[in-house]
Structure 1
């Protein structure tokens, strides 16, 4: 027999005392000839006592704050004492939870960013004053409503409806025209989510001003640089043997080299400004990637001048949907970097392939490698791992930054694996809806939407 069906020691003790009381009363009644009547009467009194305690317990359960439990002995006393102790522990736990909730609300109310607690269906449970100001929420009217019905922006709707909340999304404020908000959703608990809202308008205005300044300054620098290059072109014939400027040939050659480097820098700055701008031409085409990579291979071999072993493994029918100039800059920068930073007799392997996850463009080299501490910052503009070597190779420090922005425009991502003295592997991952493997152009446009 299972131990769960066995009576507890307390119940056995209570039954024993009850039987003892009934037996004693019945024994006393037998002296006057009323033994069984006295026993029945004692049993009735015991049942009424239990019924009274049950009624008091039912009243206490219905209203524990107003009703009080009676003072009793035996098993009922143990039950009542246990319930009172449990009630005290629950009160302490509630006070502790209330204090934690109060601290949470006080801390979130002090935040400059908006915080919105969402239920399992996306309904608003709670929000702080900053969220109220940024989103125009109202306590009485909006609590319980789905946030997607209040923030009706396509970018936010798409971000909110997906299961993956990695990253952030930016869109215009639903109440303040010209205010840009950044939304980030953090899942927690049983289907609940915390949404953080931040005003990024000043940051975006600063980025726009910086971008415009770089673009305008680069355009203005082109004019004096063109004049300088013109005079250098005129002076170059006189730098040869027997020329009037023969003694100045070394500084003039250095001036030409620096002018060339300045032109490359200005070109990269303008390209980066266009990539970061919202005014980029939105037209996209099916790109013949194998043909583009054939041109990149020729340029790489010309740049290497036979000093490296260069291998290209290209999937011939695999194409990509995007902008040719941006995509070409990805291929050219990664391959030229591999040539510049790989010692002589090193190996450079370029691979273009696709699978059910999308397409991958990979450049692996046996070059100098990159230290682990530099990998997170390698795509920042003007960040150089080895300043002397970068400048000696003619680099501008903008190549990988251009690659990063161009890949983002193609909805892809780049991963970097590197070991100092062994080499580096740069892999560009493009999503499956960007891959074109023979479908019609209209079908591809429809798949991208």
Structure 2
């Protein structure tokens, strides 16, 4: 719909008025004087309407606009319509904001809106209970000044977009465990979310303790079974009896490896990063792992290639790092057909240090890749049983890497092969000056 245009009528009336004044001035023989007086009166009428409009806008004592005639009636009515539309829009926005705040306030998770400088702008009632915030006393303060925890202070100051969430005790009650994460939104704003995971933490702790206790209790009977079976295998027995004892010995050894892996995984889950980390000579470790992989390969005659492009070292526990790398290397040997190629690569770039194991094995379908690091998950149960794996190797690798802020990436294509890569961030890298000059 095209809005009404008042200007043709205004121009018509102005023309008729000018013509009438001109005729009157001609009749009284005072043309310029009459036109001048008429113009002054016309301008005075407009000025009085401008004054009424300014007074109405300045005082805003009533919603109804002042009454006017001609063009000013249209101006007053148009401003009134705009004002009415603005009031309705503002009322809708206030209602939407109120509904949004009520919905956020009803969340069981703590939610805190942080400005770009880290100051708190708003929070819900759950944040008051879980984080001890008080409105409006704490508004405008920095959260790390109230939540005095070194790990939290380091977390809140991280510059990248989505840092990994952390778990910390609540500053209000240390028995409450919070899962805290930062979500960027808007223009340089961040939303801090804190979820009470005390029950989940307790269940996970119970599960870890159960696995650790059961694994520990299994060690003694398994050791006895292995010892007795080895003694009986060496005795002078019939072939059928010897075969049965050898099966018992093999399965006991396999269960022993499973118990050791479960205990290692339990230690990784229940302990924090070792405090006495030191630079690990990764190139030397890879040379050693290559020799061990060649021994494991045996008559399968795999082609093992080592590509070391840097002498960069990693700040870690050498035993844990060796366990992670050896799991990947030995998996490649076990799942690559005889005569296949396996490449170990170590390099460094602006993002950090990287280790990869590439094989020409059977490959893994894409649907299985996201679940490979789950405990006991197997792509091919029959083949995995034959290789003697426990199903915990990649889970151990994942947990070891997480202790050093590293991550595991998997690329694979059935019938072509797989690449397992470990990516270490810059803070975990150590470049020895002498080694750098030698490289």
Q: Tell me, yes or no, whether TM beats 0.5.
A: yes
SS in structure 2 opposite 1:68? Answer: coil
**Deviation of 1:292 (Å):** 1.6
Structure 1 residues 369 and 244: CA distance shift in structure 2, 3 A: closer
SS in structure 2 opposite 1:261? Answer: helix
Q: Is residue 2:263 matched to residue 1:270?
A: yes
1:274-323, CA deviations, whole angstroms, 9 ceiling, x for partnerless residues?
Answer: 11122564211222222222221122111111422211122473322210
**Deviation of 1:373 (Å):** 1.2
Counterparts of 1:235-254 in structure 2 under 5 Å?
Answer: 235-238=232-235, 243-254=236-247
Aligned residues of 1:18 and 1:46 also touching (Cα < 8 A)? no
Q: Is residue 2:84 matched to residue 1:88?
A: yes
Using the alignment, how far apart are the partners of 2:369 and 2:382 within structure 1? 18
Counterparts of 1:186-225 in structure 2 under 5 Å?
Answer: 186-225=183-222
- 1:436 corresponding residue in structure 2: 430
Aligned residues of 2:272 and 2:403 also touching (Cα < 8 A)? no
* From 175, 182, 188, the counterpart of 2:179: 182
* From 44, 51, 57, the counterpart of 1:61: 57
Using the alignment, how far apart are the partners of 1:290 and 1:121 within structure 2? 43
Q: Is residue 2:243 matched to residue 1:260?
A: no
**Deviation of 1:82 (Å):** 2.0
Structure 1 residues 210 and 50: CA distance shift in structure 2, 3 A: same
Counterparts of 1:36-435 in structure 2 under 5 Å?
Answer: 36-64=32-60, 66=62, 68-166=64-162, 167-238=164-235, 243-278=236-271, 281-307=274-300, 308-315=302-309, 317-435=311-429
Gaps of 5+ in 1: 1-8, 442-449
Using the alignment, how far apart are the partners of 2:129 and 2:68 within structure 1? 58
Aligned residues of 1:156 and 1:170 also touching (Cα < 8 A)? no
**Deviation of 1:179 (Å):** 2.0
Structure 1 residues 338 and 261: CA distance shift in structure 2, 3 A: same
Using the alignment, how far apart are the partners of 1:73 and 1:251 within structure 2? 112
Structure 1 residues 280 and 358: CA distance shift in structure 2, 3 A: closer
Normalised by the size of structure 2, how large is the TM-score?
A: 0.90
Structure 1 residues 252 and 206: CA distance shift in structure 2, 3 A: same
Aligned residues of 2:364 and 2:413 also touching (Cα < 8 A)? yes
Aligned residues of 2:109 and 2:127 also touching (Cα < 8 A)? yes
Aligned residues of 1:60 and 1:67 also touching (Cα < 8 A)? no
Using the alignment, how far apart are the partners of 2:310 and 2:31 within structure 1? 109
Normalised by the size of structure 1, how large is the TM-score?
A: 0.88
Using the alignment, how far apart are the partners of 2:30 and 2:7 within structure 1? 29
- 1:4 corresponding residue in structure 2: none
**Deviation of 1:355 (Å):** 2.6
**Deviation of 1:153 (Å):** 2.2
Using the alignment, how far apart are the partners of 2:328 and 2:64 within structure 1? 80
**How many residue pairs are counted as aligned between the two chains?**
429
**Deviation of 1:26 (Å):** 5.2
Structure 1 residues 280 and 182: CA distance shift in structure 2, 3 A: closer
Comparing 363-372 with 110-119, which one deviates more in the overlay?
A: 110-119
SS in structure 2 opposite 1:305? Answer: helix
Using the alignment, how far apart are the partners of 1:398 and 1:419 within structure 2? 22
Using the alignment, how far apart are the partners of 1:415 and 1:77 within structure 2? 72
Aligned residues of 2:185 and 2:191 also touching (Cα < 8 A)? yes
Using the alignment, how far apart are the partners of 1:62 and 1:207 within structure 2? 65
SS in structure 1 opposite 2:420? Answer: strand
Gaps of 5+ in 2: none
SS in structure 1 opposite 2:346? Answer: strand
Aligned residues of 1:132 and 1:138 also touching (Cα < 8 A)? yes
1:381-437, CA deviations, whole angstroms, 9 ceiling, x for partnerless residues?
Answer: 111111111111111011001111111122211111111111110111112232233
Using the alignment, how far apart are the partners of 1:171 and 1:436 within structure 2? 29
Comparing 16-25 with 204-213, which one deviates more in the overlay?
A: 16-25
SS in structure 1 opposite 2:140? Answer: coil
**Deviation of 1:216 (Å):** 1.9
**Deviation of 1:142 (Å):** 2.0
Aligned CA-pair RMSD: 2.4
Structure 1 residues 98 and 65: CA distance shift in structure 2, 3 A: farther
Using the alignment, how far apart are the partners of 1:388 and 1:409 within structure 2? 32
Using the alignment, how far apart are the partners of 1:25 and 1:359 within structure 2? 92
**Deviation of 1:14 (Å):** 4.1
